[in-house]
Amino acid sequence: MVITTRPGVADQQIDALRERLERCGMRTLAVRRGTRVVVACLDAPGAAENSGDWQEDVNIESVMAWTRPYRLASRDASPGGAHDTTPIRIGSAHDAVVGGNGIVVIAGPCSVEGLEQLRATAHGVRNAGATALRGGALKPRTSPYAFQGMGAEGLELLSLVRQETGLPVVTEVLDTRQVDLVAEHADVLQVGARNMQNYALLAELGRIGRPVLLKRGFAATITELLFAAEHIMTRGNHDVILCERGMRTFESATRFTLDISAIPVLKRETHLPVIVDPSHAAGDAELVPALAWAAIAAGADGLIVEVHARPEQSRSDREQQLSLPAFSAMMRGATTFAAAAGRRLAHGAPTIVEPPLYVSRQAALRRRPVAS
């Protein structure tokens, strides 16, 4: 049930209305829209919804049943109008906002392989205009014999390079036991396609105060993706960024089939920002720019792209990672496509005015005086 008040209702009357609803066992979320307040009711038991006496309250303009099965993620609970997107800040830089007018580009290697590789790639993507850095430290690989990532050491390197470049860090979390560790290093916690329906992990992410980048499972419907977002949001974390990354189809020319239509469908269904991963969809670096531009044309709020300073030396997904010159060329095209869509690319990280002050966490811990 979604209740819209009449214009100018006093805070105390909104409080009283919410108390009435919450006494019936509902949880409410109130959002101000101009002079009206929209009260979204969750966990609504049928009896209270059907009682009908809400219509008689003079402060209430309308009472609507939820029009979609998912709630907090749906347009019904949108803080803005029918086409607005809820902006989600992903770092401290002024323009690092997903879902604003600026299209955000998150770029970096598939896996963190070492400091020099990460540093070279991060500076390269930053110079080409990327807004944030991606890099996997904990890698879910199809084969247990493939490189599984650098683990905690890789997270330390991401923190170090964030300090040097000012780029917010986006990295994947695989397991409920890793959430606190990854949150210590990451600005955005990514849920990979294989984990989209790992409900225990989604619940853990719901209790932390970090944005979550939720990738669509390669065999999941759009509705299932939105329910996965709902699992995070009902636990209290409303900063969810959705990501289309390709579906499994009968086509074998590409690794997955990028579902471009998911972008306008999601834009119609949800107020959450939508970004696209052309790298995993294509599985082929040559195809990545065309898919990235198509995503911008279709209304995506951002891209997450795999880039490696030396793709030929990469330890994972070598064939789908762009070289730095290829990434720069993709960004030039993206600027044009963004302008055609009435948007612009988000500005990159702010200029660094001082050399990095970073000391590794272990070094800092070693230097900390012993408490008396």
Q: Which residues bind other proteins (CB under 8 A)?
A: 11-12, 15-16, 18-20, 22-25, 27, 29-30, 236, 357
- Which residue lies nearer to other proteins by CB, 27 or 83? 27
CB of 167 to other proteins, least distance (A): 23
CB of 330 to other proteins, least distance (A): 39
- Which residue lies nearer to other proteins by CB, 32 or 268? 32
Residues 341-361 as b/e (b if ≥16 CB within 10 A, e otherwise) read eebebbebbeeeeeeeeeeee
Q: Residue 153's CB: how many other CB atoms inside 10 A?
A: 14
Q: Residue 242's CB: how many other CB atoms inside 10 A?
A: 27
Residue reference for tokens 């009908």: 52
Q: Give counts: helices (H), strands (E), the chain.
A: 12, 15
Phi, psi (rounded to 5 degrees) for 65: -75, 155
Q: Are 267 and 299 in contact (CB under 8 A)?
A: yes
CB of 359 to other proteins, least distance (A): 12
- Which residue lies nearer to other proteins by CB, 144 or 367? 367
- Which residue lies nearer to other proteins by CB, 235 or 318? 235
CB of 357 to other proteins, least distance (A): 8
Q: Are 16 and 69 in contact (CB under 8 A)?
A: no
Q: Residue 176's CB: how many other CB atoms inside 10 A?
A: 14
Give the 3-state secondary structure of residue 213.
Answer: strand
CB of 32 to other proteins, least distance (A): 10
CB of 205 to other proteins, least distance (A): 16
User: In angstroms, rounded to a whole number, what is the distance separating the alpha carbons of residues 120 and 158?
Assistant: 12
User: What DSSP character marks residue 136?
Assistant: B
- Which residue lies nearer to other proteins by CB, 144 or 209? 209
- Which residue lies nearer to other proteins by CB, 22 or 84? 22
- Which residue lies nearer to other proteins by CB, 24 or 294? 24
* Maximum C-alpha span of the chain: 69
CB of 41 to other proteins, least distance (A): 13
Q: Are 152 and 361 in contact (CB under 8 A)?
A: no
Phi, psi (rounded to 5 degrees) for 304: -125, 120
Torsion of CA 230, 303, 256, 151, to 10 degrees: -80
- Which residue lies nearer to other proteins by CB, 72 or 137? 72
CB of 23 to other proteins, least distance (A): 4
